[in-house]
């Protein structure tokens, strides 16, 4: 039975517009609605200098783009030019597109602290130049960076070889992906774990990549996390601290920065910067390396970690954890003491000099119970002026008082503190960074520290269903925005399959927007996605040798429930609809401008799919893909296809002079070409990071190695060169058209099942569907 052509329902644009608007509001909530920057900037008191460390010739030849530097200022930098170092080595690793110069905040504050101690102890801060590589988008060089860091550690330790207090290990501070590279050192076969005793990471996505755009990136994560989980017992001597940035860091959400659950938790600590004592501030992805409050906490911890006997960082892992807990979790407002004396027996008259006990915050006197004996306790404090604090007189007309609100999350160190003036109205967000574990029944607690002579009213917006719905959607976008492209492409692929079905049933190709409304329905894919998450399906999956479903992995991380996929699918539908409308309108606008400015001649249709010229183009672009970068070949063939469609659009008015059959055929071909070009646009976007990386590093190597899309690019070049010259008349007569029309549905399901945490798989599914279209043109 044939389909009626039909019209677009009047409510469809409004419905999909509401979905797209909700998505934009969620993006706005993530990118813009957070607390103001409460971090102070760190400043250098002297001009910063970076002394380049000479590397062994073999290392320099193997890693020509990488360098090692020693940070210094003023006289300290001048004294270290001969590399006679006597301090404690700390190695800073920058992250994605990061600079080795970001070490200056740590190095400068540590230098000032050492000066206060008359250089009794001091640190030497080294930094690695990774050439600002985009390792968060392209994972092909992560292993190379890891091996280079290993060589740097050996070079650094050799600088102290003949010193009196020579170090045997190096402390590492890693920002962003630099922290992951530091963890990856433990996976190297010839790496000795004792070379690192302390690792501090800043805004490092430990759990999973933010955007899993290539196989090398996801494989690297899998190798690192599996090694740390399987060898947790052996890693107990390495103390690890992960500091997340909070809501201001929209690049790496804090949940990703929490170290994966290990079997041994006594050597690892994860905190959010807003919960760090004496900082209480959220940081964005870059400010976490210069936030003065956080840098001070880090440097204080470094100095408290020093062993007076070895003059290096202590080898006692328990003391290291005690120090980190003191500065990053529960700072009691006093200097760290390793073994504070809790009880002292007093006899007779006792005189305590408070200046002799600078680390004590309280003195408690315990009087044992007595029977029939009276006693008197007299306390006299000398130097009363030392206990007096002078405060400025409040303005006569000022009635402001300060209140502090603290939201405490008992299952993770992600407390947030809000300071407000009275009278005022404050809104405290109860959004979480880490989901509550299934076996934890504790609840968040809001502590209000306020003035007793003021009145307060507390209201809970959670009670309002509409507001709760918005927050739910916004949190889903915060946690799963990286999966949205998969849902958008899935909707487009379903629409493409619907257009092929319409071509079979009516002989005409429907409009993209109309077919999306008909075909892109969540009930076609969501039930299957919900089923494959269940444990009983695992046996079927294992028998078919299928990889684990992404939803099952996310569920094990406590950030997945069935409603998430449904909401993401609906949001993806709204984005696919309106981006498709915008895409089609933009092409028609450009074609109009093309027609006005260039006035192209009438196109002469070439009925041959294969010509000598087209074979040469295929061969040339395949060679480009193999010898340079696969994404480059994909981008070139995309531009060629784009110009071909634009020329076809400009020729529409001219074609009206022909018979009605030719007009209908031209219109049908344009509709299917617009959808294919729309799909191919997403392939280009997902492969674009490797192209950017290749272009940025072109001066070091013409060939991108490894290349995540080289093989796919060669196939796509051949497919697109044929498709751009095809028409619906060739497809309609094909015996394979029914298969090609049915395949997009199972491919969409597979894409949602295995592509949410592996975005690089999306082009593979699309390539297979387009390959069937090419076979329809040939068979």
Write out the catalytic residue numbers. 176
DSSP E strand boundaries for 295-443: 401-408, 416-422
CA distance 394 to 684: 63
Q: Count the helix, strand and coil residues of the chain and give each as a percent rounded to the nearest 5.
A: 50, 10, 40
If DSSP codes are grouped into helix, strand and coil, which group holds residue 49? Answer: strand
- Report the run of H or E that residue 353 belongs to, with start and end: none
Reference 254, options 44, 559, 492; nearest CA is 559
Long-range pairs for 394-402: beta carbons < 8 A, 24 or more residues apart: 399/423, 401/450, 401/451, 401/454
CA distance 142 to 215: 12
Distances (CA, A) of 62 to 69, 181, 580: 18, 18, 47
CA distance 212 to 634: 19
∠ CA 651-657-658, nearest 5°, is 95
User: Residue holding tokens 């600078």?
Assistant: 358
The DSSP secondary structure of 225-267, one letter per residue, reads: HHHHHHTTTGGGGSEEEEEE--TT--SS-HHHHSPPP-S--TT
Burial of 340 (0-12, 13-18, 19+ CB in 10 A): exposed
Reference 760, options 223, 220, 215, 219; nearest CA is 215
In the chain, what's the furthest Cα-to-Cα distance? Answer: 121
CA distance 236 to 268: 9
CB burial string 218-237: b at 16+ within 10 A, e below: bebbeebbebbeebbeebee
**Two structure tokens written together for 10:** 């009047």
Reference 557, options 199, 206, 244, 180; nearest CA is 206
CA distance 244 to 255: 8
**Two structure tokens written together for 482:** 């990286």
Residue 455, C-beta contacts closer than 8 angstroms, at least 6 positions apart: none
Return the DSSP state at 310.
Answer: T
Return the DSSP state at 46.
Answer: S
CA distance 41 to 151: 33
∠ CA 330-332-335, nearest 5°, is 115
∠ CA 733-739-743, nearest 5°, is 135
């Amino acid at each position: 039975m044939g389909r009626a052509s039909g019209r677009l329902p009047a409510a469809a644009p409004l419905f999909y517009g509401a979905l797209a608007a909700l998505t934009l509001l969620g993006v706005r909530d993530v990118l813009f609605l957070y607390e103001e920057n409460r971090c102070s900037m760190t400043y250098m008191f002297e001009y910063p200098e970076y002394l380049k460390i000479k590397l062994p010739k073999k290392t320099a030849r193997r890693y020509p783009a990488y360098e090692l530097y020693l940070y210094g200022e003023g006289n300290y930098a001048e004294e270290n030019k001969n590399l006679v170092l006597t301090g404690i080595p700390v190695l800073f690793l920058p992250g994605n597109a990061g600079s080795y110069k970001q070490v200056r905040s740590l190095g400068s504050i540590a230098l000032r602290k050492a000066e206060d101690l008359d250089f009794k102890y001091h640190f030497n801060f080294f930094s690695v130049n990774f050439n600002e590589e985009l390792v968060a988008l392209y994972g092909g060089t992560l292993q190379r960076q890891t091996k280079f860091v290993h060589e740097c550690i050996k070079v650094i330790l050799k600088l102290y070889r003949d010193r009196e207090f020579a170090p045997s290990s190096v402390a590492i501070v890693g920002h962003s992906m630099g922290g992951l590279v530091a963890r990856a050192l433990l996976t190297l076969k010839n790496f000795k774990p004792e070379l690192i005793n302390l690792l501090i990471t800043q805004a490092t996505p430990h759990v999973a990549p933010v955007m899993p755009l290539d196989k090398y990136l996801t494989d690297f994560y899998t190798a690192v996390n599996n090694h740390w989980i399987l060898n947790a017992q052996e890693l107990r001597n390495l103390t690890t601290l992960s500091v997340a940035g909070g809501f201001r860091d929209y690049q790496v959400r804090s949940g990703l920065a929490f170290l994966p659950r290990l079997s041994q938790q006594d050597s690892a600590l994860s905190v959010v910067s807003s919960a760090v004592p004496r900082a209480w501030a959220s940081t964005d992805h870059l400010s976490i390396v210069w936030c003065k409050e956080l840098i001070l906490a880090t440097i204080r911890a470094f100095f408290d970690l020093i062993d007076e006997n070895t003059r290096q960082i202590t080898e006692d892992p328990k003391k290291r954890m005690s120090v980190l807990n003191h500065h990053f979790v529960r700072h009691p407002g006093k200097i760290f003491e390793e073994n504070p004396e809790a009880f002292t027996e007093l006899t007779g008259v006792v005189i305590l000099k408070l200046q002799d006990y600078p680390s004590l915050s309280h003195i408690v006197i315990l009087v044992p119970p007595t029977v029939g004996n009276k006693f008197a306790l007299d306390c006299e404090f000398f130097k009363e002026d030392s206990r007096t604090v002078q405060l400025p007189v409040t303005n006569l007309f000022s009635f402001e008082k300060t209140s502090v609100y603290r939201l405490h999350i008992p299952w993770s160190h992600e407390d947030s503190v809000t300071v407000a003036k009275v009278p005022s109205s404050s809104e405290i967000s109860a959004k979480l960074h880490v989901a509550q574990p299934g076996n934890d029944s504790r609840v968040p607690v809001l502590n209000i520290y306020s003035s007793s002579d003021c009145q307060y009213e507390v209201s809970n917006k959670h009670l309002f269903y509409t507001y709760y719905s918005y927050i739910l959607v916004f949190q889903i976008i915060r946690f799963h925005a990286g999966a949205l492209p998969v849902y958008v492409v899935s909707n487009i692929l379903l629409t493409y399959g619907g257009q092929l079905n319409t071509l079979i049933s009516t002989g005409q190709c429907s409009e993209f927007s109309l077919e999306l409304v008909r075909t892109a329905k969540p009930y076609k894919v969501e039930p299957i996605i919900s089923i494959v998450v269940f444990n009983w399906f695992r046996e079927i999956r294992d028998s078919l040798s299928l990889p684990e479903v992404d939803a099952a992995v996310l569920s094990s991380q406590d950030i997945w429930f069935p409603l998430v996929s449904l909401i993401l699918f609906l949001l993806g539908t709204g984005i696919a609809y309106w981006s498709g409308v915008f895409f089609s309108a933009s092409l028609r606008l450009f074609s109009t401008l093309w027609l006005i400015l260039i006035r192209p001649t009438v196109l002469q249709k070439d009925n041959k799919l294969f010509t000598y010229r087209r074979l040469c183009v295929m061969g040339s672009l395949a060679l480009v893909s193999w010898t340079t970068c696969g994404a480059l070949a994909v981008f070139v063939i995309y531009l060629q296809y784009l110009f071909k469609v634009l020329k076809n659009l400009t020729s529409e008015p001219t074609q009206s002079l022909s018979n009605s059959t030719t007009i209908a055929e031209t219109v049908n071909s344009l509709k299917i070409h617009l959808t294919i070009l729309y799909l191919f646009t997403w392939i280009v976007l997902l492969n674009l990071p490797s192209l950017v990386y290749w272009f940025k590093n072109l001066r070091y190597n013409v060939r991108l190695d490894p290349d995540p899309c080289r093989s796919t690019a060669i196939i796509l070049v051949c497919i697109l060169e044929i498709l751009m010259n095809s028409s619906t008349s060739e497809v309609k007569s094909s015996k394979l058209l029914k298969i090609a029309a049915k395949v997009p549905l199972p491919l969409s399901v597979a894409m949602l099942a295995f592509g949410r945490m592996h975005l690089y798989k999306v082009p593979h599914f699309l390539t297979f569907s387009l390959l069937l279209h090419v076979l329809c043109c040939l068979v």
